[in-house]
Amino acid sequence: MPRLTGDRAFAVVALAFLVTMIGTTLPTPMYGIYQQRLGFSLTTVTVVFATYAAGVLVALLAFGRWSDALGRRPLLVAGLATSLASDVVFLVADATWVLLLARAVSGISAGIYVGTATAAVLEAAPERWRSRAPLVATAANIGGLGLGPVVAAVLVDTLPWPVHLTFVVHAAIGVVVLALLTRVPETVEVSPGARPRLQRPTVPSEARTTFVGAGIAGFAGFAVCGLFTAVSPRFVAEAVDDPPALVSVSVVAALFGASVLAQVAWHRLPTDTGVTRGCALLAAGMLLFTAALATEDLWLMLLAALIAGAGQGVSFSKGLAAVLGRVEPHERAGTTSAFFVVAYVAISVPVIGSGIASDHWGLDPTGIAFSVAAAVLAALALVTLVLDQRRTARR
């Protein structure tokens, strides 16, 4: 079959990124159903979700640089194939350990794609798309995370087989995209005999103060993403009696949607301005979310999610840009890896802690405490980054 080139190749790479990331959040509206069928606690729900983050971390560290040696296309194919494998495991998930395995496999697929697909989208972009390629990559990545719960909720609400049909549909679409992906040309020149190596996270000394501030903001923002993805349907159920699946995922969808829109709308902001604005919005959004939980007000939850999501998106993207702006080109891969390690640790550890706390003290009190802690972290990041900016300006 003929190769795809130009706009078509670019579209297929972006679509593969989107489809893979959609697959990682499809289970969000189904956790309550799994709880009823398999009989596990809220702590187990958070452990199931955190298993995904562990898979991402393993893939980031193990495969982060493989596409430089083997080429982008083989890793894109492998990542999407791994996503399809997770669909198969979800389809046969009749025990908690199988659900954990499915989430781990899903995490590995995301870990392969986070770096490889971002680079591939930038490289595959035709000249007229070159300036917008970073936004396309962002939309595919974060937009996919937000679309996953919405797509799954619509299928759960309207069609039979609530914990099976979603994965069948995703797998069917994935197979088509996988076939198209094999027709996309390679975007890097692969050296004969090149061998893949492990990704080693490093932070050069000249970027460490900036990394601390941006890392704290990234930690807070991704911890919020983890909490919302894992248990926000339970928060909604406290505010609305027996909500439809689409309503139950409305808060997490608002968070990711606002994250994408804010990054697109403010992509021209100076880096320092963007990261400080993002931290302020994240802190404000999480303080508002504490009020929403205390009053069990769904509309207030949605408003808080929109504000916090905008803050998360801008603080993360601009924070990473601020860090990379202070390192040499040959140091960027290791520094980026370190930044994502911080982010995905944030998705897992605090969320598990919140699940354990919820079983002891209740969901709303734990959610309020978590939200206050996230707001404090965002405020601390804001102070750290402002001080670093002033120190840099005096040089």
Which of 84-98, 155-169, 275-289, 314-328 has the lowest average pLDDT? 314-328
Instruction: Compare 368 and 339 and report the one with higher pLDDT.
Output: 368
b/e burial code for range 240-278 (CB count within 10 A of at least 16 → b): eeebebbbbbbbbbbbbbbbbbbbeebbebebbebbbbb
Tally of CB atoms within 10 A around 92: 11
pLDDT of 193: 60
pLDDT for residue 337 is more than 80: no
**Computed from CA positions of residues 225, 120, 72, 333, in that sequence, does the dihedral angle turn out positive or negative?**
negative
Residue 377, pLDDT above cutoff 80: yes
Mean pLDDT of the chain: 86
3-class secondary-structure state, position 64 = coil
Region 15-35 average pLDDT:
92
- Supply the pLDDT for residue 154: 93
For the ranges 65-74, 125-134, 286-295, the maximum mean pLDDT occurs at 286-295
pLDDT at position 200 over 80: no
Higher-scoring residue by pLDDT: 332, 353: 353
pLDDT band at 62; cut points 50, 70, 90: confident
Nearest to 228 by CA among 319, 341, 149: 149
Confidence of residue 194 (pLDDT cuts 50, 70, 90): low
pLDDT in tens, 105-161: 999 999 888 878 888 888 888 888 887 787 888 888 888 988 999 999 999 999 899
Q: What is the pLDDT of residue 109?
A: 94
What per-residue confidence (pLDDT) applies to 199? 63
CA 116 – CA 347 distance, rounded (Å): 21
pLDDT band at 333 (very low <50, low <70, confident <90, very high): low
Lowest mean pLDDT of 246-250, 259-263, 333-337, 344-348, name the range.
Answer: 333-337
The per-residue pLDDT for 254 is 94
Query: Does the pLDDT of residue 395 top 80, yes or no?
Result: no
C-alpha 232/C-alpha 372 separation (Å) is 16
Alpha-carbon distance of 73 to 75, in angstroms, equals: 5
Integer Cα distance of 317 and 315 in angstroms = 6
Domains, the chain, ranges and CATH?
Answer: 1-195 (1.20.1250.20), 200-395 (1.20.1250.20)
- pLDDT value at 44 more than 60: yes
pLDDT at res. 227: 85
How many C-beta atoms surround the C-beta of residue 103 within 10 A?
25
pLDDT of residue 198: 67
- The lowest-confidence range among 43-47, 143-147, 169-173, 283-287 is 43-47
Confidence (pLDDT) at 392 = 67
Q: Is residue 391's pLDDT more than 80?
A: no
Which pLDDT tens digit goes with each residue over 78-113? 999 999 999 999 999 989 999 999 999 999 999 888
- 318 pLDDT exceeds 60? yes
Name the CA dihedral angle for 56, 62, 64, 67, rounded to a multiple of 10 degrees. Answer: -120
pLDDT band at 1 (very low <50, low <70, confident <90, very high): low
pTM of the model: 0.85
pLDDT of residue 291: 94
What's the confidence (pLDDT) of residue 165? 95
Query: Taking residues 254-282, what's their average pLDDT?
Result: 88
What confidence category does residue 236 fall into, taking pLDDT thresholds of 50, 70 and 90?
A: very high
pLDDT at 281 over 90: yes
